[in-house]
Amino acid sequence: MSGRYSRRELLGVASAGVLACRAGDGRAAVPPRRPGVVGLAELAPAGGAPDLESCRSAVARALAAATGRESGNEAVRTLFRPDDVVGIKVNCLAGKRMSPRVELVEAFARLLVDGGVAESRIIVFERSSRELEQAGFSIRRGGGPYRCFGIDNDWDRQPSISGAIGSCFARLVSEQCTALVSFGVVKDHDLAGVSAGLKNLYGLIHNPNKYHDNNCDPYLADVAQHLRAKLRLTVLDGATAQCHGGPAFYAAGSFALSKVAASTDPLAADAWAWAEIDAERRRRELPTLEAEKRAPRFLATAERYGLGVGDPARVERVRA
């Protein structure tokens, strides 16, 4: 594939207020975004230990589709540089049955390594080490295939103001990570409506309990606005999804979606998840999220901020 940017990619870079310049090794100093594009790859639902190679293939294909590159390795080299410290925020709130699977996260980490990011510069993290362990992750502050530990109440000493929020962010994110990946799941949320990529970012602030009114609007948009310079990618483990009963795991609300999704547009990833949740709710003759007055209204606010495309009808699904 040529090094030319598509019109969509150029618009994405322009919306960030800067045109990507080329570095000496041929990588973009400012990685291009593809607004409104979600890359999708098939992956079998949870149930038994997934095969690492099938996970690796699925993640690689989703990344290639999301970025318009020919391979997952090329996609990684487009989005991340060897001198990046890549923080992968996983959502383990619901325990092992509704968290990103360890094998899928490891497959993504291996792609990063193949793309030139050292294992020591990849950090998989969550609000607490306890939540990581309950989801099946091993705590590791050194060694491969990546470092893995919780924030464990290590917050900034002073709060940051972004729109309507005033929060202390994780020092790991503020002081160490140069690039962020939101690695979430596809599930509904009783207040936000959708818990996928953006809701996962509430794990980066010390006081998320203050910001759930009005379907988390504008608060989720304001958290994303604060992180926009570092947030490079959203990956969603959608092999098994949940359309009802979230954010905790609710077996009766789960269903086989059999997909991995990736996007450089954090709003598009959530908009895709919203559409899939509502589609399953319709199949079950349940009210839509809008009808239950819990549509993810934060997406429209974040779109007004210029963070991406939050309307499911305008999301382009690229299947690998």
User: At which residue do the structure tokens 């705590």 appear?
Assistant: 139
Q: Give the pTM.
A: 0.91
The per-residue DSSP string of 20-39 comes to PPBPTTS-BSS----TTEEE
At 135 the three-state DSSP class reads: coil
User: At which residue do the structure tokens 């086989």 appear?
Assistant: 256
Model confidence pLDDT, tens digit, residues 171-194: 999 999 999 999 999 999 999 999
CB burial of 87-123 (b: ≥16 within 10 Å; e: otherwise) equals bbbbbbbbeeebbbbbbbbbbbbbbbbebbbeeebbb
**What is the Cα–Cα distance from 144 to 140, expressed in whole angstroms?**
8
Mean pLDDT score of the chain: 91
Can you read off the two tokens belonging to residue 278? Answer: 């509502």
At 159 the three-state DSSP class reads: coil
Q: What is the pLDDT of residue 5?
A: 35
**What is the Cα–Cα distance from 266 to 257, expressed in whole angstroms?**
20
Exposure on the CB side of residue 204, measured as CA atoms within 13 A:
32
Give the residue-averaged pLDDT of 256-278: 97
pLDDT classification of 24: cutoffs 50, 70, 90:
very low
**Neighbouring C-beta atoms of residue 4, cutoff 10 Å:** 7
Asked if 260 contacts 238 with a C-beta cutoff of 8 angstroms, the reply is yes
Q: Which domains does the chain have, with CATH numbers?
A: 38-319 (3.40.50)
Model confidence pLDDT, tens digit, residues 187-214: 999 999 999 999 999 999 999 999 999 9
Model confidence pLDDT, tens digit, residues 29-51: 567 789 999 999 998 776 656 78
Contacts of 291 (CB under 8 A, 6+ apart): none
User: At which residue do the structure tokens 């060897």 appear?
Assistant: 82
